[in-house]
Chains A and B, each alone.
Chain A
């Protein structure tokens, strides 16, 4: 049996499960609260699994193995930033977000700063950055399905896109959460199955370290094999902020049964993420460097190459399905976010409500489904041209999100004294400077390449929040009471 024939069977079963979940959960959708936040009913174990599956994207393993194999274990140092970012959500964001009873991050921006403009702007940023993110995930799917099913890269991307667009558009967040659980299981089984085979070929943890150091001197050193300090620091900042503003995670806080469940899910989520990454990137990445590095053309191919080299076909198919799961479980959350951003935030809150237009819930559900399909198609088209390392594309998407939302979230949820103007200046200024820097980097400007666009966006956002905030009056009234109920009594 070849990987492709095992893959067709296994992935076929996987797809059927996803589609069935979409159809089953569609039967439970009657209101936007059902569709977007699963009726705010998710308990702790399910939330932990859904969180973990959502924030581990396809690139976390595929590019993670690639980048660690390439530059050394130091590439894992920013993982500390992941935990730091989650700690900020745990201590400062989760409770107030859950209790504010919103649906989306644009809801927070609009409600907290009493600004329709900020709501609309945030919705556009969410939809736009989701598309960039989706492009990266669809490419992961292309890589994986190419190996798994023996089809072309193009058809791999198309198959993956059609499936997740279908189950998200039909089943909403409930489908996302249920499929996330199945994907969580696939991800872990897929990766853990590799353990004995990698162990057999290169030995345990310490032996991998010794062997990789022998083939790539400096791999275990604090500088890796070509990792500069400025690169490390900027990735560190980007990931810290990214984990404070991961849409897939923040939005799930709204779906928790209560604020305690929302918060308690976070340490468990990030603990699982750390175990997954230290094993999945560090151990597997080291092994890939030792075993397959000479046979691959690009770092992103290291994982698929390793899997097909050391695993029997059926298990190889399992491991690859696991990565496809990781990609899909992130994609589906983002796709849902962009549906909510357009239908709930733009159409309903920015256009209909101010004009007194009343439509029934089915109207908004219809438009969110249309958006989901359109965003899926646009992302698919964007994924066709050949692009850079997947993790780099993801880092641009999270950089834009961080620059837009980090300071408004941090200031808006920790202080009553934030002005609307400061939030707008920080959000818009951060986004624009980040976007300009990305454009300059992509156009090959040498002055732009040395600093990550996200760092520029954040510095601008933080500066504007501070300066504009000093000269403008804070938002008052219901907008503040909703997020700081304890101090109004």
Chain B
């Protein structure tokens, strides 16, 4: 019952996460001083 519609919803979580991940990675490099 919650097949396809439910999958489309997961985009709400997965897609923002994909954009957030590189920001956290570079943020961590900023702290380590390996990125400017």
Name A's B-contacting residues (CB within 8 A).
73-74, 76-77, 79-80, 82-84, 86-87, 90-91, 206, 209-210, 213, 220-222, 260, 263-264, 266-267, 270-271, 274, 278, 282
CB contacts (< 8 Å) of A271 on chain B: these are: 20
9 additional A-B pairs beyond A213-B1, A264-B31, beta carbons within 8 Å, are: A74-B8, A86-B23, A87-B22, A90-B23, A206-B2, A221-B8, A270-B23, A274-B20, A278-B13
CB contacts (< 8 Å) of A278 on chain B: these are: 12-13
CB contacts (< 8 Å) of B15 on chain A: these are: 80
Q: A80–B9 contact, CB under 8 A?
A: no
CB contacts (< 8 Å) of A266 on chain B: these are: 23, 27
Among B1-36, those with CB < 8 Å from A are 1-2, 5-6, 8-9, 11-13, 15-16, 19-20, 22-24, 26-27, 30-31
Contact of B5 among A80, A82, A221 (CB under 8 A): A221
**Complex Cα gap A480–B25 (Å):** 30
CB contacts (< 8 Å) of A76 on chain B: these are: 12
Q: Which 6 A-B pairs have the closest CB atoms?
A: A267-B23, A220-B5, A222-B8, A83-B16, A83-B19, A80-B15
Q: Which residue of A lies closest to B33 (CB)?
A: A260
Chain B: interface secondary structure? helix
The smallest C-beta distance from B15 to any residue of chain A, in angstroms, reads 5
**Given A77-B11, A79-B12, A90-B26, A222 and B5 touching (CB < 8 A)?**
yes
**Given A209-B2, A263-B27, A270 and B20 touching (CB < 8 A)?**
yes
Q: A209–B20 contact, CB under 8 A?
A: no
**Given A222-B8, A278-B12, A80 and B20 touching (CB < 8 A)?**
no
A-B contact pairs, 7 of them (CB 8 A): A76-B12, A77-B12, A80-B11, A90-B23, A90-B27, A263-B27, A267-B23
The smallest C-beta distance from B31 to any residue of chain A, in angstroms, reads 7
**Complex Cα gap A264–B5 (Å):** 35
Tell which of B11, B12, B24, B26 has the most Cβ of chain A within 10 Å.
Answer: B12
CB contacts (< 8 Å) of A87 on chain B: these are: 19, 22-23
CB contacts (< 8 Å) of B11 on chain A: these are: 77, 80
Q: B23–A220 contact, CB under 8 A?
A: no
Q: A263–B19 contact, CB under 8 A?
A: no
Q: A264–B27 contact, CB under 8 A?
A: yes
CB contacts (< 8 Å) of A220 on chain B: these are: 2, 5-6, 8-9
The smallest C-beta distance from B12 to any residue of chain A, in angstroms, reads 5
Tell which of B1, B2, B19, B26 has the most Cβ of chain A within 10 Å.
Answer: B19
Q: Which residue of A lies closest to B24 (CB)?
A: A267
CB contacts (< 8 Å) of B16 on chain A: these are: 79-80, 82-83, 274
Q: A260–B9 contact, CB under 8 A?
A: no
Tell which of A76, A82, A264, A267 has the most Cβ of chain B within 10 Å.
Answer: A267
**Complex Cα gap A90–B6 (Å):** 31
**Complex Cα gap A482–B16 (Å):** 34
CB contacts (< 8 Å) of B22 on chain A: these are: 87
**Complex Cα gap A270–B9 (Å):** 19
CB contacts (< 8 Å) of A73 on chain B: these are: 9, 12
Contact of B31 among A210, A222, A260, A282 (CB under 8 A): A260
CB contacts (< 8 Å) of B2 on chain A: these are: 206, 209-210, 213, 220
**Given A267-B23, A274-B16, A260 and B30 touching (CB < 8 A)?**
yes
